[in-house]
Amino acid sequence: MSNYRRFFANPGVFRPLLVLACSIGFAFGGAEIDRLLQLAGQRYGNAGTAAVGAWRDLLTQSAGQPEAAKLKRVNDFFNRRVRFGDDSAIWGKPDYWATPLETLARAEGDCEDFAIAKYVTLKLLGIPSEKLRLTYVKARIGGPQSSIVQAHMVLSYYPAPNDEPLVLDNLISDIRPASRRTDLTTIFGFNAEGIWVGGGVPRATSGAQRLSKWQSVLARMREEGID
């Protein structure tokens, strides 16, 4: 499990998250689906092509749905198709942020990879970034009373700016309001607009410059066909 403290050890230039609007066909907003399918086949063989094909079908079938249905479809899709694994075992690195293509094709990922893939997919389906935050938490593994605590990432969805968020998580299958996730303690969240500490007011944009892993994962997504 990656430790959120690593983010502040490697300062870098933060690039805003991609704003992706949904359109029907082989291209969804900034995602070149044909190119992604080709890369999946070249790098991962038939299994990779099939995984990206299933993702394309998810996008096509979910495009006209209400936001609540999109959340459920996307959360279920990745929780069912992707196995949890540690970065060291999957990538041979202690802390690696995978692109959605890498996560889909390998069918493995850690908590950051689940959250990133869900975030990108929901943005491709037209949900604006201000409703979404990638959120680092302390998770009590086994329930609120557990003494086992570790760093974890989830995706938070805010129906309106001041609303209680819904939590999309790979640890459980259903989407619950944050008040029902007493096993999670928010550390910070981020999106295209800034950083929130403990769910509060966005910090100055200088804080976001330290999220250097976004620079790497966004650059690799552009190379793969998500721009």
What is the reported pLDDT for 59? 95
Report pTM: 0.84
Question: 167-201 burial, b for 16+ CB within 10 Å, e for fewer?
Answer: bbbbbeeebeebeebebbebbbbbbbebbbeebee
What is the reported pLDDT for 200? 60
Rounded mean pLDDT for each run of 10 residues along the chain, 227 residues in total: 45 33 48 92 96 96 96 98 96 94 96 96 94 94 84 96 95 96 92 74 52 83 90
The architecture CATH gives domain 4-224: Roll (3.10)
What is the reported pLDDT for 191? 80
Residue 144, Cβ density class (10 Å: 0-12 exposed, 13-18 middle, ≥19 buried): exposed
The domain spans of the chain are 4-224
Rounded Cα–Cα distance for residues 177 and 157 (Å): 9
